Amino acid sequence: MSAAISACIDKLPYGGSTLSAAQRAPIITAIVNACAQFAPPGAQWQTWCQMFLAAAINAESSYNTQAGATGAAGDPSVGLLQIRFSSVVLDFANYGPIDALTRAGCNFGTVTSSDSYATKGTMMLDVNCNVAIGAWYYFIFASGNGGSTVVWVDQYCMGGGVAGNLHIGMASFLMGGDAAHSSLSGADYYYNEIKGWFDPCVTYTGMHPFELAIQPDTSKYCR
């Protein structure tokens, strides 16, 4: 499992392939743990999730664990999956499964109305937290934002999710939840880049994994 992810990272451009074994080990562990908690059901999805996250991290940060943090103030997107406090972290704080995040190795703590990136930046940059929270955000939209109108996280966790796919999850992650209901084409470059790095690392038959239907699952993605 870890060897397969490392082999996939070796095929990537930019920063990932230059990391030493010691540098990539905690990232690989974070990927495995995040997928154990947030991938759709089935053993095959564990592999697909792992290789997807390996590619998504390359797209978001080129494997720089501190990406976006240098000199950051206000509400930046930071870390391996470029999570933002006011959207991703607050959504998780309000609706996400803290116990699953703990199992993924993240000490999320508590978030109050007085918190911000200034107080939660260390947690957001922690590799386990960043990868797991980012994975949760991809998959909650992938599994719930597939209808004719946008389904936000609060609506999803109230039972309003509509089956979607990871293509929708990627567009929503990159451009906001309403992206899947205006035009997926706005995320074409992002989608194709990640797909181009994912495909050499996996095997599948039939429909591409990024297009397979993923059903809502409030027990997995909500508290």
Domain architecture of the chain: domains with CATH: 2-221 (1.10.530)
Quick check: 1 pLDDT over 80? no
DSSP the chain: -HHHHHHHHHT-STTGGGS-HHHHHHHHHHHHHHHHHHSPSSHHHHHHHHHHHHHHHHHHHTT-TTTTTTT--SS-EETTTTEEIIIIIHHHHHHS-HHHHHHTT-------TT--HHHHHHHHHSHHHHHHHHHHHHHHHHTTB-SSS---HHHIIIII-B-B-HHHHHHHHHH-GGGGGT-GGGGHHHHHHHHHHHGGG----SS-GGGS-B---HHHH--
Task: Pick the closest to residue 209 from 32, 29, 7, 47 (CA basis).
Answer: 47
97 Rama class: left (phi>0) / alpha (psi -120 to 50) / beta: beta
Residue with tokens 């940059």: 125
Amino acid at 119: T
- What Rg, from alpha-carbon coordinates, does the chain have? 16
DSSP 111-166: --TT--HHHHHHHHHSHHHHHHHHHHHHHHHHTTB-SSS---HHHIIIII-B-B-H
Tell me the pLDDT band of 182, cut-offs 50, 70 and 90. Answer: confident
| Residue-wise pLDDT tens digits, 26-36 | 999 999 999 99
pLDDT score at 2: 92
What is the rounded average pLDDT for all residues in the chain?
96
Quick check: 220 pLDDT over 90? yes
Tell me the pLDDT band of 186, cut-offs 50, 70 and 90. Answer: confident
| Residue-wise pLDDT tens digits, 49-70 | 999 999 999 999 999 999 999 8
Quick check: 40 pLDDT over 90? yes
| Residue-wise pLDDT tens digits, 87-145 | 999 999 999 999 999 999 999 999 999 999 999 999 999 999 999 999 999 999 999 99
pLDDT score at 71: 83
Residue range 198-206: average pLDDT? 96
pLDDT score at 68: 96
Residue with tokens 């920063």: 15
Quick check: 184 pLDDT over 80? no
Quick check: 183 pLDDT over 90? no
CA distances in angstroms from 57 to 15, 148, 194, listed in the order given:
10, 29, 9
